[in-house]
Amino acid sequence: MLTEILNHIREDQPAAIDRLCDYLKIPSVSTDPAFKEHCQTAARWTANQLSETGLETTIHQTTGHPVVVGQSKSAGPDVPTVLFYGHYDVQPPDPLEKWTTPPFEPTIRENRVYARGSSDDKGQVMCFIEALRAYQVRNIPLPVNVTVLIEGEEECGSVALESFVPQHADILKADIAVVSDTSMWDYGQPAITYALRGLLYFDVKLFGPSRDLHSGVYGGTVPNPATLLTRVLASLFDDDNRVTIPGFYDDVVDLDPAERDEWETLGFCDQVYGKSIGLDALFGEADFSTLERRWARPSCDVNGLYGGYMGEGAKTVIPSFAGGKVSFRLAANQDAIKIKQAFIDWFHANTPAGCTAKIEDHGHAYPVIVPRDSDYLSAAKRAVQHAAGKPPVLVRDGATIPVVSTFKTELGLDTLLIGFGLNDDNLHSPNEKFELENYKIGCLTHAALLYELANPSD
Amino acid sequence: MLTEILNHIREDQPAAIDRLCDYLKIPSVSTDPAFKEHCQTAARWTANQLSETGLETTIHQTTGHPVVVGQSKSAGPDVPTVLFYGHYDVQPPDPLEKWTTPPFEPTIRENRVYARGSSDDKGQVMCFIEALRAYQVRNIPLPVNVTVLIEGEEECGSVALESFVPQHADILKADIAVVSDTSMWDYGQPAITYALRGLLYFDVKLFGPSRDLHSGVYGGTVPNPATLLTRVLASLFDDDNRVTIPGFYDDVVDLDPAERDEWETLGFCDQVYGKSIGLDALFGEADFSTLERRWARPSCDVNGLYGGYMGEGAKTVIPSFAGGKVSFRLAANQDAIKIKQAFIDWFHANTPAGCTAKIEDHGHAYPVIVPRDSDYLSAAKRAVQHAAGKPPVLVRDGATIPVVSTFKTELGLDTLLIGFGLNDDNLHSPNEKFELENYKIGCLTHAALLYELANPSD
């Protein structure tokens, strides 16, 4: 029966590519109000697809763009319910002049489809929809219960979803969540991601004199917020590039030696990694490998600096304030709220005399890690083996997908992160593309996953 | 004879105010090309005034706005030649809506004239011109030879003047320079400024990855130029707020104890100073008083910071570069070129691995200090006594007037800095004003100065 499904998907790929291209023609840019109607169109298009696959589908209007939910409970109470998450909205396509072909005219070259949203995330959403379609077309009942949740604000903060999930906890109730919004390890090497870092983001400002001052008349006598901001932010780190906030590392768990051994086999190369971003030297917390710093250690970055004179040439001003954007990536087991408070306390404690501090909190997301030995993960590994002819590697990701921690805290759900993108897919950049080979692997994987999740003992 | 001159000035004040107001009506904003013709008008107006006072006057066209030179050599070789410097250009008047009356419609309220340029520097230029006029009108020969140099680019870097002075060293040859572009110590208390700090100004940038990176994917593994710029700039200072560049203080001369005692009598109050700029706490190099840090110690300020995400809200980017504006005020006897090189060397030596540095040099000016016991200064003190009925206090200024060091290096001239502004004149701000009482004192002082410079033994 699984073989029939998988063969159907293989045969139906040309049609599946056409459907994906239809989806990609909709310029559902969520951040720009000018594209609001297109987001509605994309929501309706998504809902139609889900209906076609036999799901009971609802478009939920929100304060922002709609949330689409499709459901099938036909598999009954004895098998798991899987909650699939994706998003139909896309990043703005700018700068347009850097696209070889227009961002909303999907074009196939060298077995890739080039279009905004092809990899992030419409192509990956379609992998799941095509898997559902195969069961429907072949008239084979879905092996598990399915809820599909497709939002339209992932690229602008998932504002509506944050309240939508707890408000609809009853209909979203499931046993396991599946998210396809990550990458494979490499060409031909699928991956399952079992951990994400959390996120804290702040805007911090130091205020000094009540107005901008002449640096000749006042220089050397007054607290300069720009000078002092560099001092405060610099003191966030010690000589080993460790964050100095008291208690920051308390809850970070050491990497399991078995995990470290597994990562060794991935063949990650510092030189290749550095070269891809123009760097001769990498950087970070002492005594940890690059992969460990990236995946299993917290980090802190100044994402922006501003204040005083920022134009060309010279202006001899002592600015009345200066600011910066400061963010943290949190490693597994760190408590976002606890670290948030620790940073705020630290910043106030380190605010120099003569200055006042203003801290704006731009939100938080908890880190997530899922058990590497669960039945669900085993099912996912088997599904990938069916689809790609080889097992996935298990990886972490340094980035954050806030909905994954929302699922954990609001719905008590672990998430399987099975993604079919690639690091060179140009997400958020011109010439975004999705490999058609990966599209096929994605469709096959999800079809097999639905089967395997119903057969945990296989 | 001096009494006659001074009386004439007192009687002629209403007409002198009218002439000043005519000058102030010309919107000679030098930085904005839209006002180019007005700068020509102001140059012609200045030249006409100088001609009226009997000087041989030339308008020198330059690559920028014209330089006006007036000269009288009639006093002969046995008396000194004084070189008076001022500028006819003004700062832009923005923000216009904050002016009580329009910036180029001079208005008299409470015995002050409100207009852009009233204190900086047209009012002060007119003090000297009115002094010359008094001699002319009373048909009394000028006691000294006079060269008047009025430029039109002081508010935009004196670019043309920099080459004009050495190119015209022959006609600018003099024994002493006089500049009226500083302030009195307080209402009713004239001051002579005998030292200015020098200036170095840099734009520094750190470059890291070849493109902006996602802070989740890369955070903790790559050199972040924004983070590292804070570290480099913070390390410019030690815990005593002293600059850490090797050799930075080597040439700074200790303050003469007599000078320190003199400053004690000025009644400077840290609290009042702090309160005027909204500060509860002052700041600076340990073990020096506020006045000493301001006038006799070098200082370093970050005048601007920029890089990465500078807008509202959050963007999780590791920027490919970050930059800052860094300036130094140099104390008497520091060598601008030597410190410039020391900073550049220091910055390169402190550039973190994985980053490259780019330093833009935005020019330098040497500090200046003139002897407090010279005959010229004695003459100036006597002139102020004539004009104000009390002696001036001798002060330094933390700011920089580059032309003063140009006069020293190119012409070998010391400068008498006798200014009639006040700290609350709103220079470079809306509602700039000049006290008419100070205008009168200024005219009287310069008239008496011409007399006293010819009588060094008085």
- Per residue in A88-145, pLDDT (tens digit) is 999 889 889 989 999 999 999 999 999 999 999 999 999 999 999 999 999 999 999 9
Q: How many CB atoms lie within 10 A of CB A281?
A: 13
- Cα distance from A415 to chain B (closest Cα, Å)? 19
- C-alpha B113 chain-centroid distance: 21
From A209, A234, A362, residue closest to B231, measured CB to CB: A234
From A230, A279, A294, residue closest to B302, measured CB to CB: A230
Residue A225: what are its φ and ψ, rounded to 5°? -60, -30
| Residue B227 contacts A where some CB pair is shorter than 8 Å | yes
Residues of B with CB below 8 A from A273's CB?
A: 221
Residues of B with CB below 8 A from A400's CB?
A: 216
Q: How many CB atoms lie within 10 A of CB A17?
A: 19
HEC-encoded secondary structure of B281-310: CCCCCCCCCHHHHHHCCCEEEEEEEEEECC
- C-alpha A277 chain-centroid distance: 20
Whole-number Å distance between alpha carbons of A39 and A45: 10
Whole-number Å distance between alpha carbons of A210 and B275: 9
Statement: residue A458 has pLDDT above 70: no
Whole-number Å distance between alpha carbons of B131 and B133: 5
Per-residue pLDDT band at B352 (split at 50, 70, 90)? very high
Query: With pLDDT > 90 as the criterion, what percentage of chain A qualifies?
Result: 92
Q: DSSP 3-state helix, strand, coil percentages of chain A (rounded to 5)?
A: 35, 25, 40
Statement: residue B456 has pLDDT above 70: no
pLDDT at B41: 98
Whole-number Å distance between alpha carbons of A8 and A16: 11
Angle at B403 (CA atoms; ends B77, B144), nearest 5 degrees = 20
The CATH fold assigned to B198-252+298-365 is: Alpha-Beta Plaits (3.30.70)
Tell me which chain A residue has its CA closest to the CA of residue B270. Answer: A221
- Cα distance from B403 to chain A (closest Cα, Å)? 15
Give the CA-trace dihedral at B304, B200, B282, B253, to 10 degrees.
Answer: 170
| B 375-434: CB under 8 A from A | 397-400
**Mean pLDDT in chain B?**
96
- Cα distance from A18 to chain B (closest Cα, Å)? 32
Residues of A with CB below 8 A from B318's CB?
A: 301, 303
Whole-number Å distance between alpha carbons of B153 and B66: 8
- Cα distance from B360 to chain A (closest Cα, Å)? 9
| A 38-77: CB under 8 A from B | none
Best probe of the B interface among A155, A212, A215, by most B CBs < 10 A, is: A215
Cβ partners under 8 Å of residue A6, min gap 6? A386, A387, A444, A447, A448
pLDDT at A89: 96
Per-residue pLDDT band at B80 (split at 50, 70, 90)? very high
Per-residue pLDDT band at A456 (split at 50, 70, 90)? low
Q: pLDDT tens-digit profile of A264-278?
A: 999 999 999 999 999
Q: Are B316 and B215 in contact (CB under 8 A)?
A: yes
| Residue B233 contacts A where some CB pair is shorter than 8 Å | yes
Best probe of the A interface among B183, B199, B205, B302, by most A CBs < 10 A, is: B302
3-state SS class at A257: helix
- Cα distance from A23 to chain B (closest Cα, Å)? 26
Contact A305 B229 (CB under 8 A): yes
Tell me which chain A residue has its CA closest to the CA of residue B282. Answer: A222
Whole-number Å distance between alpha carbons of B70 and A359: 58
Beta-sheet pairing, B393-397 with B191-196: parallel
Contact A219 B301 (CB under 8 A): yes
pLDDT at A457: 61
Q: pLDDT tens-digit profile of B118-150?
A: 999 999 999 999 999 999 999 999 999 999 999
From A201, A277, A283, residue closest to B316, measured CB to CB: A201
Tell me which chain A residue has its CA closest to the CA of residue B309. Answer: A304
Q: Pick the closest to residue B60 from B73, B51, B70 (CA basis).
A: B70
Residue A210: what are its φ and ψ, rounded to 5°? -70, -15
Residues of B with CB below 8 A from A234's CB?
A: 230-231, 233-235
From B233, B277, B325, residue closest to A222, measured CB to CB: B277
> Domain A2-196+367-453 has what CATH class?
alpha beta
Q: Are A340 and A363 in contact (CB under 8 A)?
A: no
Statement: residue B457 has pLDDT above 70: no
Cβ partners under 8 Å of residue A186, min gap 6? A422
Tell me which chain A residue has its CA closest to the CA of residue B281. Answer: A354
Whole-number Å distance between alpha carbons of A168 and B430: 57
Angle at A442 (CA atoms; ends A375, A366), nearest 5 degrees = 60
Q: pLDDT tens-digit profile of B362-409?
A: 989 999 999 999 999 999 999 999 999 999 999 999 999 999 999 999
| Residue A297 contacts B where some CB pair is shorter than 8 Å | yes
Whole-number Å distance between alpha carbons of A141 and A120: 29
Q: DSSP 3-state helix, strand, coil percentages of chain B (rounded to 5)?
A: 35, 25, 40
| Residue A309 contacts B where some CB pair is shorter than 8 Å | yes
Q: Enter the tokens of residue A89.
A: 């909205």
Whole-number Å distance between alpha carbons of A387 and A378: 14
| Residue A350 contacts B where some CB pair is shorter than 8 Å | no
Query: With pLDDT > 90 as the criterion, what percentage of chain B qualifies?
Result: 92
Statement: residue A297 has pLDDT above 60: yes
Q: pLDDT tens-digit profile of A50-70?
A: 999 999 999 999 999 999 999
Residue A219: what are its φ and ψ, rounded to 5°? -60, 130
pLDDT at A262: 93
CATH 3.30.70.360 intervals, chain A: 198-252+298-365
Residues of A with CB below 8 A from B223's CB?
A: 279, 281-283
> Domain B2-196+368-453 has what CATH class?
alpha beta
From A217, A218, A306, residue closest to B305, measured CB to CB: A306
Question: Which helix (H) or strand (E) element contains residue A362?
Answer: strand A356-365
Q: Pick the closest to residue B60 from B52, B69, B49 (CA basis).
A: B69
Residues of B with CB below 8 A from A278's CB?
A: 209-211
Beta-sheet pairing, A415-419 with B81-87: unpaired
Type of residue numbered B84: F
From A218, A233, A303, residue closest to B308, measured CB to CB: A303
Per-residue pLDDT band at B435 (split at 50, 70, 90)? very high
Integer angstrom CA distances of residue A293 from A270, A327, B215, B222, B321: 12, 16, 12, 10, 22
The residues with which A417 forms a beta bridge, in sequence order, are A179, A193
Residue A261 DSSP class: H
Q: Are B65 and B38 in contact (CB under 8 A)?
A: no
Q: Enter the tokens of residue B262.
A: 């003199």
Contact B316 A298 (CB under 8 A): no
Residues of A with CB below 8 A from B399's CB?
A: 214, 216-217
Q: Enter the tokens of residue B375.
A: 């005959």
Q: What is the mean pLDDT of residues A334-338?
A: 97
| Residue B210 contacts A where some CB pair is shorter than 8 Å | yes
Residues of B with CB below 8 A from A274's CB?
A: 222
| Residue B230 contacts A where some CB pair is shorter than 8 Å | yes
- Cα distance from A230 to chain B (closest Cα, Å)? 4
| Residue B278 contacts A where some CB pair is shorter than 8 Å | yes
| Residue A285 contacts B where some CB pair is shorter than 8 Å | yes
| Residue B301 contacts A where some CB pair is shorter than 8 Å | yes
Contact B230 A230 (CB under 8 A): yes
Angle between helices B2-11 and B122-137 (to 10 degrees): 120
With 0-12 CB in 10 A as exposed, 13-18 as middle and 19+ as buried, what is A62? middle
Q: pLDDT tens-digit profile of B227-246?
A: 999 999 999 999 999 999 99
Q: Are A445 and A384 in contact (CB under 8 A)?
A: yes
Q: What's the start-to-end Cα distance of chain B, in Å?
A: 15
Q: Structure pTM?
A: 0.91
From B277, B284, B305, residue closest to A211, measured CB to CB: B277
3-state SS class at B416: strand
From B222, B274, B305, residue closest to A279, measured CB to CB: B222
Whole-number Å distance between alpha carbons of A330 and A314: 39
Question: Which helix (H) or strand (E) element contains residue B137?
Answer: helix B122-137
Contact A301 B224 (CB under 8 A): yes
Q: Are B128 and B446 in contact (CB under 8 A)?
A: yes
